[in-house]
Amino acid sequence: MLASPQDYVEEAQRFREAGWTAYKIHPVCRPQEDIAICTAVKRAVGESMVLMLDSMWSYGYEDAVRVGRAIQDLNFYWYEDPLAEDDLYGYTKLKTQLHIPILATEHLPGGLYAYTEWIRQQGTDMLRGDVALKGGVTPLVKIAHLAEAFRMKCEIHHGGNSLNNVANLHVTMAIPNCEYFEVLQPDAAQKHGLLEDIEVDGRGLVHAPTRPGLGYDIDWELINRNTVAELR
């Protein structure tokens, strides 16, 4: 979260200048201010960047409708987690009021089997997950394949640290239905423990690892230097 709409504008412009093609807003989670942030960023970058909003489960139904209508008028690409993570009834109702694609299920309680009801009741347009929150590579692949069977996307969430991000990248590269690799900002704060890390290139792309296994080396010297005890 940033302090003012202008701070979001400057961040988006900075990434656009670095070649990135999409910018997702984590707003302050106060509906009117969130609309002001989204409007300011859209005015600044126009159609030159894909814009998304992730409201992080912060609205009640009425505000979710108000913000959703505002950002669909701004041609935002998706509307992520406006309502509480388990509010399937609210999401189903919300989807009848909006035509912007909704992305829920990042923190869906209940694992793989809970997704079936969200698909059946049409509570979300895309599925969401990552290796850390969903229990590893295999559960995430199952969720992605479930989405594929319904011709839905499975947009993968960032992993929270370097090694999880590498595992997410492998899943992303192995499925046809994830469009974006998420890079949480500030990027440097998410990077720790690998000798080299995933880097976004000058066209806003990340690339598949080319080596066996995860394809990135753990920085054992760093880990050993910071070891305080070993559990055996």
Which of these segments, 11-19, 50-58, 174-182, 214-222, binds Mg ion (CB under 5 A)?
A: 50-58
Q: What whole-number distance in Å separates Cα of residue 45 and Cα of residue 25?
A: 13
Which of these segments, 52-60, 118-126, 136-144, 199-207, binds Mg ion (CB under 5 A)?
A: 52-60
Task: Closer to Mg ion by CB, 186 or 212: give it.
Answer: 186
- Degrees (nearest 5) of the Cα angle 15, 178, 96? 95
Task: Closer to Mg ion by CB, 58 or 194: give it.
Answer: 58
Q: What whole-number distance in Å separates Cα of residue 169 and Cα of residue 162?
A: 10
Q: What number of residues does the chain have? A: 232
Residues 190-229 that bind Mg ion (CB under 5 A): none
Residues 88-117 that bind Mg ion (CB under 5 A): 106
Site size toward Mg ion (CB under 5 A) is 2
Task: Closer to Mg ion by CB, 168 or 194: give it.
Answer: 168
Task: Count CB neighbours of 68 within 10 A.
Answer: 23
Task: Closer to Mg ion by CB, 65 or 133: give it.
Answer: 133
Among 31, 51, 54, 76, binds Mg ion (CB under 5 A): 54
Window 124-163: contact mask with Mg ion (x via CB under 5 A): ----------------------------------------
8 A C-beta contact, residue 102 and residue 125? yes
Task: Closer to Mg ion by CB, 63 or 80: give it.
Answer: 80
Task: Closer to Mg ion by CB, 63 or 106: give it.
Answer: 106
Min dist CB 16 to Mg ion, Å, is 21
Q: What whole-number distance in Å separates Cα of residue 64 and Cα of residue 189?
A: 30
Report the residue number whose CB is nearest to Mg ion: 54
Q: Does 87 bind Mg ion (CB under 5 A)?
A: no
Min dist CB 146 to Mg ion, Å, is 19
- Which residues of the chain form contacts with Mg ion (CB under 5 A)? 54, 106
